[in-house]
């Protein structure tokens, strides 16, 4: 896989460099509530601009249906990107139309523009190869060189991720290069003990990665909504907790395989329960109860791991040499149910392990709960991409950069 260093050998000054970033940040109206993904790609953009390139940045945001939707506009991102770069970022209000063409044509050496949301064009996400290729052809007219740096999108076979690199000289940006180097530490010559912490809502989202990591991990700690399917698989009452009954046979099979292979599954021993889901906007107190994991009331649901589980999980991470964490332990957005996720984050900081926070809600939780991102070994910008890499899948966006 070529890098920016390889491109720099031929000189970048005056060249139009298309940077496929992942600027899919959460918005409340026009307010960015977490700019982590923007900050992650700034070093690559700044490096290219300093080399004299005309930098054309592109990204998706949200899931528009192939046509413009104001709520998914990247205009607020252009403003924030400019603040972080310390320079004006011109904004094109379309992707390959008159505005994009004019804005790119007006760029001077070292200047930066951001195109409007790529997914406002149906060709970006189309499953029809010809439609995707046609959009990639249009994007290619805006650039001389392609740099892939949107790690959070490399598991998607989309025009700007998969088809466009084949049309231009291409290389991986600094962020993707760093992400791949870290993930190799989790899959090749792993330092042990190797602990994996998995949370989040649905166990179905994590079964494939559990299957793959059972060949490598020494212990797997389970939290979040998915924990209740595991507890149910052990025969416990889980009340109104999130439950995927169709996944119970698979979970029982994994628990049995883990016992056979010496992979320790660590499940909650106590949980915080409530009769309803908390209001995440008002954040009013909900007065949850702490109950043993095998004594949950039938009319209440679990929303976080309990204090005994927090201590248990911390002890299971204390001697680890490598830790991968993906998924919060509870509804961390509400203060009543943030302690479990906070405890795992703190345990990673207290452990001597090389710790990788696997993107998505886990990365957001680290920032929202006030932790220093630089204190962790690595915080990934791509939750889904990280998981698919660890599942052993070929990621289209990485494959496109490797030839």
Q: Which residues are annotated as a binding site for substrate?
A: 22-24, 37, 60-63, 119, 156
Query: In terms of DSSP bridges, do strands 31-32 and 27-28 run parallel, antiparallel, or are they unpaired?
Result: antiparallel
Give backbone dihedrals phi and psi of 136, rounded to 5 degrees, phi first.
-60, -35
Catalytic residue among 330, 340, 384, 397: 384
Residues 322 and 202: their CA atoms lie apart, in Å, by: 24
Residue 199 a catalytic site member: no
Per DSSP, helices labelled H in 150-245 are: 174-185, 207-213, 227-233
Catalytic residue among 101, 202, 367, 393: 202
Instruction: Please state, in angstroms and rounded to a whole number, the distance separating the CA atoms of residues 292 and 76.
Output: 46
- CA atoms of 313 and 158, how far apart (whole Å): 39
Instruction: Name the active-site residue from 15, 37, 132, 219.
Output: 37
Q: DSSP assignment of 292-304, as one string?
A: ETT---TT-EEEE
Closest CA to 124 of 68, 80, 169: 68
- Cβ atoms 154, 382 nearer than 8 A: yes
- Of residues 155, 56, 157, the one with CA closest to residue 101: 56
Closest CA to 18 of 99, 131, 118: 118
Q: Is 360 a catalytic residue?
A: yes
> Which residues are documented as binding site for (2R)-3-phosphoglycerate?
37, 119, 156
Could you say which of 173, 224, 330, 360 is catalytic? Answer: 360
Mark whether 37 is an active-site residue: yes
Residue ranges for the known binding site are 22-24, 37, 60-63, 119, 156, 206, 302, 333, 359-362
Judge contact between 103 and 90, C-beta under 8 A.
Answer: yes
Between the alpha carbon of residue 318 and those of residues 216, 251, 366, the distances in Å are: 19, 26, 19
How far CA 326 is from CA of 197, 256, 290, in Å, comes to 6, 23, 24
152 is catalytic: no
State how far the Cα of 72 lies from the Cα of 356, in Å rounded to an integer. Answer: 30
- Other C-beta atoms within 10 Å of 44: how many? 25
Active site residues: 37, 202, 360, 384
């Amino acid at each position: 896989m070529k890098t920016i260093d390889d491109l720099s050998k031929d000189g970048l000054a005056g060249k139009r460099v298309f940077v496929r970033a992942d600027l899919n940040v959460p918005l409340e109206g026009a307010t960015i509530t977490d700019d982590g993904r923007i900050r992650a790609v700034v070093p690559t953009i700044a490096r290219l601009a300093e080399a004299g390139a005309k930098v054309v940045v592109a990204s998706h945001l949200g899931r528009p249906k192939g046509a413009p939707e104001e709520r998914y506009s990247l205009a607020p991102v252009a403003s924030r990107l400019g603040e972080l770069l310390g320079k004006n970022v011109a904004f094109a209000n379309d992707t390959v139309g008159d505005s994009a063409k004019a804005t790119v044509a007006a760029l001077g050496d070292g200047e930066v523009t951001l195109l409007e949301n790529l997914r406002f064009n149906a060709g970006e996400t189309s499953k029809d190869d010809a439609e995707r290729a046609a959009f990639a052809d249009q994007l290619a007219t805006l650039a001389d060189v392609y740099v892939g740096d949107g790690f959070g999108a490399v598991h998607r076979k989309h025009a700007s991720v998969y088809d466009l690199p084949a049309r231009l000289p291409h290389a991986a940006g600094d962020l993707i290069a760093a992400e791949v180097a870290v993930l190799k530490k989790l899959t090749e010559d792993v330092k042990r003990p190797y602990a994996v912490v998995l949370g989040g809502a649905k166990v179905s989202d994590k079964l494939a990665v559990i299957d793959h990591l059972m060949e490598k991990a020494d212990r797997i700690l389970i939290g979040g909504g998915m924990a209740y399917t595991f507890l149910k698989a052990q025969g416990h009452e889980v009340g109104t907790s999130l439950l995927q009954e169709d996944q119970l046979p698979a979970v029982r099979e994994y628990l049995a395989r883990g016992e056979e292979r010496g992979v320790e599954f660590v499940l909650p021993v106590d949980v915080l329960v409530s009769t309803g889901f908390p209001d995440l906007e008002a954040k009013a107190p909900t007065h949850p109860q702490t109950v043993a994991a095998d004594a949950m009331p039938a009319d209440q649901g679990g929303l976080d791991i309990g204090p005994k589980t927090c201590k248990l999980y911390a002890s299971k991470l204390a001697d680890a040499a490598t830790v991968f964490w993906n998924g919060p332990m509870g509804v961390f957005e509400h203060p009543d149910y943030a302690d479990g996720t906070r405890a795992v984050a703190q345990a990673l900081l207290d452990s001597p392990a090389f710790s990788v926070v696997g993107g998505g809600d886990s990365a957001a939780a680290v920032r929202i709960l006030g932790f220093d991102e630089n204190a962790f070994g690595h915080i990934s910008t791509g939750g889904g991409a990280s998981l698919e890499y660890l599942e052993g899948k070929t990621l289209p966006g990485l494959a496109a950069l490797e030839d």
